[in-house]
């Protein structure tokens, strides 16, 4: 990977594993996402390289999406990891 490409990537994305940062059950920041597999106010599924993260809840929204990270807000009631 060229130096410019590395610089574009956030620091946490350089890790081999995805990184999840929860703020209570109202917000989650996912670093290292590879795409959104499903999107509804009750369920959002996110593909990361190693696993698929499935969030369940109410009023879930994708607040911000970039090429390697996304921010999900809403009331998160449960989280599932599919390997």
Partner 1 sequence: MLIGMVRYLRGFVTFEICGRYPERFLNIALRSHVTIWGTRREQERLFASMYAADYRRIRGLARRSEVRLRIVERQGMPVLLHRYQSRVGVAVGGLMFALTVFVMSLFLWSVDITGLERISESELRDALHSHGVYVGAFQPGLDYPTIAREMMLDIDEIGWMAINVRASSASVEVKEEQPAPDVTDTSVPANIKASCDGTIVEMRVGEGLSYITEGSGVVAGQLLVGGVMTDDLGGVRLVRSSAEILARTHRTASFSLGRDERMMLPTGERSERLRVRFLTLELPLTAHGVDSEYAVVRRRTESPVFHDSTMPMALLRESVTALSVQSVERDDNSKKEILAKYSDLYEAFVLSSCTVEKRTYQAAADDTMTVDYTCIEDIAVTEEIGTDENTDRLPARARSDE
Residues that bind partner 1 (CB under 8 A): 8, 35-41, 61-67
Q: Distance between CA atoms of 48 and 69, rounded to whole angstroms?
A: 10
CB of 10 to partner 1, least distance (A): 13
The DSSP bridge partners found for residue 21 are 29
Question: Please, are residues 22 and 72 in contact by the beta-carbon 8 Å criterion?
Answer: no
Structure tokens at 28: 């989650």
Give the Cβ contact number of residue 46 at 10 Å: 24
* Shorter beta-carbon distance to partner 1: residue 63 or 82: 63
* Shorter beta-carbon distance to partner 1: residue 25 or 45: 45
CB of 53 to partner 1, least distance (A): 14
* Shorter beta-carbon distance to partner 1: residue 45 or 79: 45
């Amino acid at each position: 990977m060229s130096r410019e490409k590395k610089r574009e990537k956030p620091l946490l994305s350089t890790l081999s594993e995805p990184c999840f940062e929860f703020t209570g059950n109202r917000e989650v920041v996912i670093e290292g996402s590879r795409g959104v597999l499903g999107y509804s106010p009750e369920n959002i599924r996110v593909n990361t390289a190693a696993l698929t993260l499935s969030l369940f809840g109410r009023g879930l929204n994708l607040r911000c999406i970039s090429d390697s990270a996304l921010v999900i807000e809403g009331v998160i009631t449960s989280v599932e990891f599919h390997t």
